[in-house]
Amino acid sequence: MTPPYKLIDQATGEVAIGSNGEKWEGMDVAPGNTMELYNTTDNSNPWPRVSPGTIVRPGDGPTPPDPPDPPDPPDPTPPPTGEGMDYPTNEQQLRDALNTYMNEQRVGQLDNRVDVTISDTIELAQQTNSGWPWGVNGNYAKIRYAGPAGRDALRVLGVQGVNNRGLTIKNLSINGGDPNMQDMGALACLRLSAPLGDAGSIYKFTLENVFTMAGTYGVIIEGGVYEGMCSNVHAENCTKDGIMEQHLNLGQNGQGVVSNVFWVHPNSSRNYGAGMRLVYSNYVIGGSFIVNGDGGVVASDGLRGMIFSNGENTAGKDQAAFVVPNNGYGSYIEVCEASSDGKTVCRKWTGSAWVDVGSPMLYLIAMGAGVSERDNHVSYYGNPPNPMRVVK
């Protein structure tokens, strides 16, 4: 039956008529409601029901309960190794992967489980470059050098006639293999070298989240290497400088000049040499240099600018955290701090005794004529009196 409904008098077969002459027809209810009829003229309690039962509007029954929640989906399956990243497990596979990234001019991805020991230098000498970024995102992979002392672990080399643009090395750890700092490990954990100058330059490069340790040097940048950014680069426990730059073949045809390098939060500490030994054309922001044997930053030819940087107990013969003896084309050191107890120095174990490598740090900066310093300060936490000064 479909609504509307009517009540039939079984005795007459006609529509039932109420006590006041009303006809019981055209009856309906809203969807989802029920209907029952009672004789309200009857004095009994409760009233007798006239309808044989509850009438439910067809197709519009009570609102059904919410369906049960669907089961939780299964955990996603991680992509298999090799889908978007590579997982070399030995030296040859690592060499092949890095050379493939170079030759295909792309930034390859290493699996973060990569932990490979190498027996000799891995050299990347790109033979053609179309300007695309290339290199490696290591996802914090580990490279451990175990080759002959005095050779580089990872070296990028400029090539005659190739304008090498877009080198990218990020999220990579390189151990030079000399944990006891006895000059028995890699010469450089990472070297960018362009000895041919402009004829084989490396430029528009990026080093980011690179961790080097236990080599003679952590990072070397030399020759025609320029217009690069180095962000969060670390160098520690090296027997010479943590980070070192140098020009090559100055005054000769094809001289290689390092220039326009921007350093953001370099951290170079506990090295027997300087934390950073830089050429002039550099900016340093937010550097941290702790207990180096020859100062935090040494820039013999001047330094374009350094700001928001700190040196602690990190001094050589100049007894200063930062050594800038020449103005160059204009050198500016601002909002930096030196902190010291006036006695802690970098020391070296000779095999039988500890010997001092550094000197007590008493100054923030040892600087030459024309160098500008502003808003710098020192913090002394040794026994009084305070011997520290900003400028030597």
Domains and CATH numbers, the chain: 1-64 (no CATH), 91-391 (2.160.20.10)
Three-point CA angle 274, 280, 284, nearest 5°: 65
Which pLDDT does position 68 carry in this prediction? 75
Q: String of b and e for 140-161 (b: at least 16 CB within 10 Å)?
A: ebbbbbebebeebbbbbbbbee
Helix, strand and coil in the chain, % to nearest 5: 5, 40, 55
- The residue with greater pLDDT, 309 or 68, is 309
Which pLDDT does position 64 carry in this prediction? 57
**pLDDT above 80: residue 85:** yes
| Mode of pairing for the β-strands spanning 363-367 and 276-277 | unpaired
* pLDDT digit string, tens, across residues 234-292: 999 999 999 999 999 999 988 999 999 999 999 999 999 999 999 999 999 999 999 99
Which pLDDT does position 123 carry in this prediction? 98
Q: Is the peptide bond prior to 88 cis by the omega test (within 30 degrees of 0)?
A: no
* pLDDT digit string, tens, across residues 4-62: 767 677 777 787 777 677 777 777 767 667 767 667 676 777 777 766 666 666 555 55
Return the percentage of the chain with pLDDT > 90, whole number.
77
Which pLDDT does position 281 carry in this prediction? 98
Which pLDDT does position 1 carry in this prediction? 52
Q: Residue 388 contacts by C-beta under 8 Å, 6 or more apart in sequence?
A: 338, 340, 342, 361, 362, 363, 364, 378, 379, 380
Cα(2)–Cα(7) distance, integer angstroms: 14
Q: Is the peptide bond prior to 65 cis by the omega test (within 30 degrees of 0)?
A: no
**pLDDT above 80: residue 301:** yes
* pLDDT digit string, tens, across residues 121-152: 999 999 999 999 999 999 999 999 999 999 99
What is the average pLDDT across 365-382?
A: 97
